[in-house]
Amino acid sequence: MVIKTLYPLLLACLILSLMLGCTASSTPPPVTNGGELSSYHLEIDLLGTKNEFLVDSQGRLKTKVETSSADGRISLWLDEGTMVKDKDKDEKPLQVVHVSIDSSPPFPPDDAYLVGAVYDFRPEGANFNPQIKLALSYDPDELPEGVIERNLYIACYKDTGWEKLLYKNVDTESHRVTTQIDRFARVAILAPKEPPPLDKPSGPADRVEVVYFYRTPRCYSCIYVEAGTRYTVENYFKDELASGRVTFQVINVQDKENAAIVNKYGAFTSSLFINTIKDSTDHIKEATDIFISSLAMTERLSRR
């Protein structure tokens, strides 16, 4: 009686198992105590080149990632343990990365050229901790005339416009620019336009005044700029300093006794000015790139 009862049940289970065999996994994936997958595969699609990498349930890479598009135009490097999160407020682990060429790219900024394509990294806003390394390749034959390869940089486009990324490395042999990013957006290689030549008085200058203005309290950057400027002037223009053809002054803009020179230069905050004096006429230029290197400062003073 028991056999007669169990036989139809066993047969039904066997038929059901055969029917589900094509889609069901014989070994289900491991799960955490909360019932979620303990790991999953992150798909990275770079211009059609797809690869998968293992990520745990918290969104942490379980392997190191080194992947490139088939044509080598885009490469990504992610360290093992990198947190990869979606743009959602609940910070869901990132599951798919898709990079394509932007068919409607934004215009470049006024002071730069676009070099090559603009790449659209999706999902926009996906974030990484620590930062990941990104490299874009370029064709040197497509560079605008006069552009110097080592001056190329990578920028990302956000709602407010193009934003230059701080870190860069330009490999002029492999023609590739590398940077670091912590968030997805549209990115591209940009080439700075050469600034117009500075207006220079004809003939040699009678005197050059280098004036650094500051406010109190002073920050580290302010002190650093003064020290760098002083070092440049005192080490590269010793003879000119001794003869009085070059002078260097440090002025507190908040001191009432300095009101006349502050008004003359129009300096009301931390700033650096170079005044080339020819025939008793001032030719004042503000060094807006105030954190320039000593070499750049030397070049500026050499134009006197």
Q: Determine which helix (DSSP H) or strand (DSSP E) holds 201, and give its type and residue range.
A: none
pTM of the model: 0.54
Taking domain 39-192, whether its CATH number is 2.30.30 is answered by no
Q: How far is CA 262 from the centre of its chain?
A: 36
DSSP string, 66-80: EEE-TTSSEEEEE-T
In whole angstroms, give the CA distance from residue 278 to residue 241.
17
Q: How many CA atoms lie within 13 A of 94 on its CB side?
A: 27
The reported pLDDT for the residue numbered 83 is 92
Q: Which two tokens stand for residue 148?
A: 């110097």
Residue at 63: amino acid letter: T
Tally of residues, the chain: 304
Tokens in use for 114?
Answer: 């676009």
User: Are the beta carbons of 168 and 177 closer than 8 angstroms?
Assistant: yes
Architecture of domain 207-302: 3-Layer(aba) Sandwich (3.40)
Q: How deeply is 96 buried, as exposed, middle or buried, from its count of CB atoms within 10 A (0-12, 13-18, 19+)?
A: middle
- Supply the Cα-derived Rg of the chain in whole angstroms: 31
Alpha carbons 274 and 199: distance in angstroms, whole number: 13
The pLDDT assigned to 92 comes to 77
Within 8 A by CB and 6+ apart from 99, the residues are 45, 46, 47, 69, 74, 119, 120, 121, 122
Beta carbons within 8 Å of 224's beta carbon, 6+ residues apart:
none
3-state secondary structure of 266: coil
The partner residues of 250 in beta bridges, in order of sequence, read: 212
Domain boundaries, the chain: 39-192, 207-302
Q: Spell out, as residue ranges, where the chain has pLDDT lower than 50.
A: 1-33, 291-298
Q: pLDDT (tens digit, 9 = 90+) per residue, 90-117?
A: 567 888 999 999 999 999 999 999 999 9
Determine the pLDDT at residue 39: 85
Q: Do domains 39-192 and 207-302 have the same CATH topology?
A: no
CB 95 within 8 A of CB 42: yes
How many Å apart are CA 248 and CA 212, to the nearest integer?
8
CA angle 68, 71, 73 (to 5 degrees): 65
Whole-angstrom Cα distance, residue 204 to residue 64?
60
170 Cβ contact list (under 8 Å, min separation 6): 149, 150, 151, 152, 153, 176, 177, 178
